[in-house]
């Protein structure tokens, strides 16, 4: 897998917050579609094609940005399990 297509800078360019749009919830640039909506759809098993059909303002790069955001968030937020001490 390559991070060349969508690194952290790229997803940050696609996801924006504006207090005047959806109450400041993160949305995809140029849309009123929230990051939460796309992540919930992916978690529910919807395919990228289904999401794009449901939200015609979205582009494939928005879906990739949502996945990249979730991956980066998981990397930062998941606790590292303790390594058992061997005596």
- 34: domain CATH number is 1.10.10.10
The reply to whether 59 falls in a domain is: yes
5 pLDDT band, cuts 50/70/90, is: very low
The structure tokens 């991956």 sit at 71
The reply to whether 70 falls in a domain is: yes
The reply to whether 80 falls in a domain is: no
DSSP string, 64-86: HHHHHHHHHHHHHHSPPPPPPPP
End-to-end CA distance of the chain: 39
Q: What does the alpha-carbon distance between residue 56 and residue 31 come to, in Å, rounded to a whole number?
A: 10
Considering only CA atoms, give the Rg of the chain.
16
Chain segment 51-74, per-residue pLDDT in tens: 999 999 999 999 999 999 998 888
Q: How many domains does the chain have?
A: 1
The reply to whether 38 falls in a domain is: yes
Chain segment 11-52, per-residue pLDDT in tens: 888 999 999 999 999 999 999 999 999 999 999 999 999 999
The reply to whether 22 falls in a domain is: yes
């Amino acid at each position: 897998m390559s991070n060349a297509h969508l690194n952290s800078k790229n997803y940050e360019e696609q996801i924006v917050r504006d207090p005047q749009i959806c109450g400041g919830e993160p949305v995809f640039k140029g849309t009123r579609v929230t990051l939460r909506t796309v992540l919930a759809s992916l978690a529910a098993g919807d395919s990228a094609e289904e999401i794009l059909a449901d939200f015609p303002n979205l582009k494939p790069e928005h879906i990739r940005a949502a996945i990249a955001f979730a991956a980066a968030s998981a990397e930062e937020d998941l606790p590292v399990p303790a390594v058992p001490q061997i005596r």
